[in-house]
Structure 1
Amino acid sequence: MLSNFKRTLLAGCVGVMLAAGPTLSLAETPADQLVVGLSLSNILSLDPAAMSGRESMEINANIYDRLIEPDVTDPAVFHPRLAESFEIAEDRGSVTFHLRQDAVFHSGNPVTAHDFVWSMTRAFELGIGGSNIRVFGYNEDNIAEMVTAPDDYTVVMKLPKPNDPTLILAAVAGQGVAMVIDSKLAMENAKDNDFGQGWLTTNSAGSGPYRLDRWLANDIVLLQRVEGSWGEQPAMTRLIYRHMPESQTKRLALEAGDIDIAWGMSVADVTALQSNDALEIAEVTSGNMYYLMSSMAEEKFQDPRVREALRYLIDYEGIAETILPYYARLHQRPLGKGLDGSLPDTGYSLDPEKAKALLAEAGYPAGMDVTLRVLAESPFINIATAIQATLAQGGIRAELITGNSDQIYGAARERKFELLVGRGGDRTGTHPYTSLLSLVYNPDNSDEAKLFTLQSWRASFQSEEINTLLDGALLEGDADKRREMYEQIQEIWEEQVGPLQVMAQGLDAVVYQDDVVNYVPHVYQTTIYRDVTKNR
């Protein structure tokens, strides 16, 4: 398996490596290049507004700049990037950003406030991305009024409705829709009024330290350092992302020194590398939750007794202990541990007899046949296989449907599925409002709303009680009352038997060579490599 990997890497990158200098052994990556092993199967587009998934997010975070960046250790703190400074209005109704005047795109075009406004508004014009911005009240009708550039180096973002401005800062720092695109270059490559979307799928128009040099689907993404860019010159001349979906392949490549960093490794392989002194393991707790989701667009799942039965057909402890070490920790609430208003776990456990009784009450004494969609990669397929077995104990016969991100999460975005094992929520998990927003909130249950990033919308679930409480908590000034509202939301979620049963709170385990310096995987999934060096 390793020899196949070496041949693939050699075929894909030998020209690149030779250009960097003398021929180098693949037993050690070049000192000025960083090689990352991961699955690229979820990358469908590198357009910042249309992308999805952590892989695309990290890649684009090194191509495109944002007005501000989150701190690497405290994601609630923001640092200047394209914006030299920003201030929140006294009435908390707007945020003003003052841009630096020396930033330029890779094309040589100057970065202006108008580029940010264009980048933000094009997502609404095209109807792509921006769901986490839309929930704050931005839409196609008001975006041009709410996000403006009074001059070339000033951006004003008004809040369409009363809100916490720090949440807007987090969105600007962490959402792809707020990455600043070279509007002039994109429009030069636009076709049929697509605002450059077709071209940006496989090309870049950023101002960051790297540009997209090559993307071969399910093979390689190659980023090239931009010489003479406006910002700091990174030590790494190239970032090479290699498609390595198999965990064992990544493990062997790490041990051989053929890659510097690996994501998405199995528990067994990460555990096996713990004793390797040449490697480091980093864990980053996220706000993403692993869950079993049922679609309330399906008649059988509209009965809360059926949804409750599902809760008793999951071996939570078994999954947490055998499948999810280094991926997640046992958790059963939509609000992450440690956040304001978090509650103890509900205490659900595997109880097939309880589930059978609930199914019988709901009119399914003989159980039912269902389809269960899941990504065909670890740990999702492992979780789904375990759940398939425990569902069978309760009389639910589940047929697994596996596929890539577009096939599995695409079905969720179209709201055409029965059951789905997935991972979702607020990536950062730093604020109770956004954490609950991602999982339990749904202000518009119509298909036309296209609130793709809201898991309850995907599941066709809407609770006016939860929506009202969450909207109220956002504006509540009394900390104790706000905490009580977050607690009440979770209690109502359980009473109404929400369609997502959380199994675990995610964490990202990343294994990397110990001579990689200043590498800090970020909770926003916007790890930036401009400060990374190698101690060689």
Structure 2
Amino acid sequence: MLQLRVARPRRIALIGLAGALAISMSACAESQRDSGGGSEGGTLVFGATGAPSNFDPFYASDGETFRVTRQMFENLVGLKPGTAELEPELAKEWKSSEDGKTWTFTLQEGVKFHDGTPFNADAVCKNFERMYNQTGAGATAALSYYWIENFGGFSDGKQPSLYKSCTAENDSTVVLELTRFHAGFPTLLSQDSFGMQSPAAMDEYKANDVKAQGDSFVFSEYARQHPTGTGPFKFSSYDEGNGTVELVRNDDYWGEKAKLSKLIFRVIPDETARKQALEAGDIDGYDFPSPSDWDALEKAGFNLQIRDPFNILYLGITQKNNPALRDLRVRQALAYAIDRENLVKSVMPEKAEVAKQMYPPTVDGYADDVTQYPHDPDKAKQLLKQAGHENLTVELWWPTQVTRPYMPNPQAIFGAIKEDLEEAGITVKPISKPWAGGYIDQVEVAKAQLFLLGWTGDYNSPDNFIGTFFGTTENQFWTKGSPWGEELSKALDAAAATVDPAQREAKYQEINRKLMSEYLPAIPLSHSPPAIVVSPDVQGLVPSPLTKEEFAPVTVSASE
């Protein structure tokens, strides 16, 4: 739903203090396929664009991992399918203190983890204490990305944390204490990384046993073979060689049980190969079909649904390892060099829009008067000359073996940007790496100079976009070496902690103005509407504007 990540993001209204005061929300609420028989049973095979990084959602930040873990894990709060509306999940209701720092959650009863152990208030606190007490590799932005972006620091006290404590008042009542008011709480708890996991399984299979190995990580037995949540599907197996993840129905699920008996994710990195697999009946659906195939897929009888765009594609700029990129004039030259209008028209799908700042216009704090950078190669050359870098050489990184909601064709996007930069006299050194095979990891450790990345919103908050990108010094890999990185981080923290909605809005607007005029740490490119396509035999799939689909309600009917 990140994307950094830098990858994944959604559409919930900011929760101001007025909405937080003593509010309580209650529950209203190879073909490997076999026939679904109509209403229940059968197997759905879904074509994934990339391999999951691991199966412990806390150590993940990419959409392909979350696509799988989302079916196995549940959160205290959730989002109503097909919307960005907050709804109860493992907590059936909650309320806050007047100052918005103390939150009391009343939990669903009779819920068990897949290993048979009870989900209760003690389990919730053990999850939060596990997250808060990360050390070593686990406490890095590359692994604890969502914790750092949303809660800040850990128990070592090196960085301030939003989290203060968790208390189990009784089996069904848990109290979370925050160190300060935060506009995005508790909505931020709906993010996949904060899914509740079995404390017993995490202990038995040493969930925290993760180690850095070069530019990557070696995960625990828990994260590789024993992920244990409360959700409608359970982990069965992962054939890494064949790129196949198999989940099975959780027959002891506490809510409405999944209709499928099996759910299989088959990794098919090439989009054309995914389309061919769907046409051949080897898979039942896949995400992010190429926009050039939309008409043909619909004419062939497949069910193609286009989500509303709630994302951003940007050209990231790491200032750490190329001194020229620390000069604002050079970054402005890059912005003027890129023909974003042509990029949107020639490469991106229908209804894509040129991005003018680092999040969509539907998000609070959007400023209509930010500095604009229309395509102007001559202006770019002039700025480079003024900066003394008229012979600029840059590395331009792009990912392979992946398609993202905001980046439907990475190679074509890379090609268009490379051509634009070269037109402005910039020498481009192309570097490509597999998305889950070094690209993300090396971007995060500041190896990439210019890089293609993006984000799909988790909820409707500036903090979930620019706060995620720039809000912590731990994750400012692209602002290190800049004189204003700490200033930006503090401004974002101050905005998120502002109780008055109008004042908060004004602060975010001012941050957006500075991002596009004084800072320019990245160049916003586009907002793109991603599609999802399934066989006509598939019923019950509800597309999510947050690319957060759940497969429990899905059936696969028998073909005629």
Q: How does the TM-score come out when normalised to structure 1?
A: 0.85
Give unmatched runs, 5+ long, in structure 2.
1-29, 212-217, 403-407
Pairwise CA distance, 1:310? 0.3
Residues 21 and 71 (structure 1 numbering): CA distance in 2 closer, same or farther, change over 3 Å?
A: closer
Residues 123 and 488 (structure 1 numbering): CA distance in 2 closer, same or farther, change over 3 Å?
A: same
Aligned partner (choices 439, 444, 447) of residue 413 of structure 1: 444
Partner residue, 1:171: 188
Separation of aligned partners in 2, 1:114 and 1:457: 40
Give yes or no for the alignment of 1:435 onto 2:465: yes
Partner residue, 2:532: 510
User: What residue identity is the alignment partner of 2:314?
Assistant: Y
Per-residue CA deviations over 1:59-85 (Å, capped at 9, x if unaligned) read 11111121121122442x322222222
Partner residue, 1:102: 110
Q: Helix, strand or coil: the match of 2:221?
A: helix
Separation of aligned partners in 2, 1:497 and 1:363: 19
Pairwise CA distance, 1:471? 3.1
Partner residue, 1:25: none
Residues 133 and 88 (structure 1 numbering): CA distance in 2 closer, same or farther, change over 3 Å?
A: farther
Taking the TM superposition and a 5 Å limit, the aligned residue runs for 1:120-159 are 120-124=128-132, 125=134, 126-127=138-139, 129-134=143-148, 135-141=150-156, 145-159=164-178
Give unmatched runs, 5+ long, in structure 1.
1-8, 23-27
Partner residue, 1:61: 70
User: What residue identity is the alignment partner of 2:317?
Assistant: S
Give yes or no for the alignment of 1:295 onto 2:314: no
Aligned partner (choices 507, 514, 517) of residue 492 of structure 1: 514
Taking the TM superposition and a 5 Å limit, the aligned residue runs for 1:139-288 are 139-141=154-156, 145-164=164-183, 167-176=184-193, 178-190=194-206, 198-203=220-225, 204-217=227-240, 219-286=243-310, 288=311
Taking only aligned residues, the RMSD between alpha carbons, in angstroms, comes to 2.9
Runs of 4+ in 1 over 6 A off after TM superposition: 458-461
Residues 429 and 455 (structure 1 numbering): CA distance in 2 closer, same or farther, change over 3 Å?
A: farther
Separation of aligned partners in 1, 2:459 and 2:90: 25
Q: How does the TM-score come out when normalised to structure 2?
A: 0.82
Pairwise CA distance, 1:213? 1.2
Separation of aligned partners in 2, 1:33 and 1:461: 55
Q: Helix, strand or coil: the match of 1:96?
A: strand
Give yes or no for the alignment of 1:33 onto 2:43: yes
How many pairs were matched up? 500
Residues 104 and 192 (structure 1 numbering): CA distance in 2 closer, same or farther, change over 3 Å?
A: closer
Separation of aligned partners in 2, 1:527 and 1:89: 33
Is the contact between residue 432 and residue 486 of structure 1 (CA under 8 Å) also seen in structure 2?
yes
Give yes or no for the alignment of 1:79 onto 2:94: no
Residues 259 and 295 (structure 1 numbering): CA distance in 2 closer, same or farther, change over 3 Å?
A: same
Pairwise CA distance, 1:89? 1.7
Separation of aligned partners in 1, 2:180 and 2:207: 35
Pairwise CA distance, 1:370? 1.8
Residues 168 and 456 (structure 1 numbering): CA distance in 2 closer, same or farther, change over 3 Å?
A: farther
Is the contact between residue 274 and residue 281 of structure 1 (CA under 8 Å) also seen in structure 2?
no
Separation of aligned partners in 2, 1:530 and 1:460: 47
Residues 326 and 428 (structure 1 numbering): CA distance in 2 closer, same or farther, change over 3 Å?
A: farther
User: What residue identity is the alignment partner of 2:104?
Assistant: T
Q: Helix, strand or coil: the match of 2:185?
A: helix
Give yes or no for the alignment of 1:92 onto 2:100: yes
Separation of aligned partners in 2, 1:455 and 1:270: 37
User: What residue identity is the alignment partner of 1:403?
Assistant: K
Aligned partner (choices 120, 139, 163) of residue 112 of structure 1: 120
Q: Helix, strand or coil: the match of 1:155?
A: strand
Aligned partner (choices 481, 486, 493) of residue 471 of structure 1: 493
User: What residue identity is the alignment partner of 1:410?
Assistant: D
- Which structure carries more relative contact order (alpha carbon 8 Å, separation 6+)? 2
Is the contact between residue 62 and residue 208 of structure 1 (CA under 8 Å) also seen in structure 2?
yes
